[in-house]
Amino acid sequence: MMSPSATSEALSIQPENGDGTASTTQPVPAPALSNDSEFLNTQPGPDHDWKISLKNKVVAITGANRGIGLGIAEVCLANDAAVVYSLDLFEPDEEFQAIQKANPKRIRYIHCDVTSEESITSAIDAIVANEGAIHGLVANAGMTKHQPALNFDRAQLEQLFNLNVFGAYFCATTVAKRFIELGIKGSIVFTASMTSYRPNRAAPSAPYGATKGAVRNMTHTLAMEWAKHGIRVNSISPGFVKTAMTYFVDQAPDWNLKMQYYGGMPRLADPKELGGAYVYLLSDGASYTTGIDIPVAGIVGAW
């Protein structure tokens, strides 16, 4: 770790001209340290819950009526979340309704189009009106399309970016405003993807990977900007998960051989297997964890 003096020195180094002489550019001043109480109030309080638990927490998950989002919701409920809200464009199916029946009043659905700022704001406001607070948001809603890069048209690109990037961004900024207004040290978790690290050989999609790279990148900057409010921002990068979006994997005649080629666990994950990572990042146990991505892919580096 650099000392304060070393940091000041590093910031004062002048760039060189092409001939090796020092440029006349003025030294960049070191950033001033702040005693602002807004920063000092981000530490855990006396009633901090050190367990990895979501007890008494209200969590919203976009796209939680099915797939990865529903798996996350189930694991949040299993870890004592007070209420989980699914913000989804589509009506709940039988699987969601069965979970709802098993958890009366603890999992609810709000119709929401995350590509609409107005719809997002309305959904978050409804949660706060119903519960008096919101403590965590999982920006999970997304879509993919797999085809060669030369086959994508602009409309397809815009559809992917509108949902995967702009939708996630406006969900995060909307809930961050509520956290700040309510004085809540909330947690935001984005669903990124292993394709944000490297190509998916089984089903390449340059635009999808680009959207998830954008999500992972903005995680770092939002975490930096909102740390002073005690708001944590992180992401999870799933690998192959058994959902409607990965229908193509086990339809291939040699899919099991391809999975073995990737190394690690030669199978698709159950959506609930991702849930533990989300629960950790949403919990008070992760009070000093922000700006990171957690790959949950069976093995890291096999992609």
Catalytic positions, please? Answer: 193, 208, 212
Q: 197 vs 209, 215, 221, 268, CA distance in Å?
A: 8, 12, 18, 19
Q: Which residues contact 213 (CB under 8 A, 6 or more apart)?
A: 196
Query: Which DSSP string do the residues of 2-32 spell out, in sequence order?
Result: --HHHHHHHHHPPPB-TTSSBP-PPPPPPPP
* CA distances in angstroms from 196 to 127, 156, 215, 217, 298, listed in the order given: 31, 19, 9, 9, 16
| CB burial string 183-215: b at 16+ within 10 A, e below | ebbbbbbbbbbbbbbeebebbebebbbbbbbbb
The three-class DSSP label of residue 59 is strand
CB 145 within 8 A of CB 195: no
Return the SS3 of 270.
coil
Q: How far is CA 224 from its chain centroid?
A: 15
Token readout for 288 is 């000093």
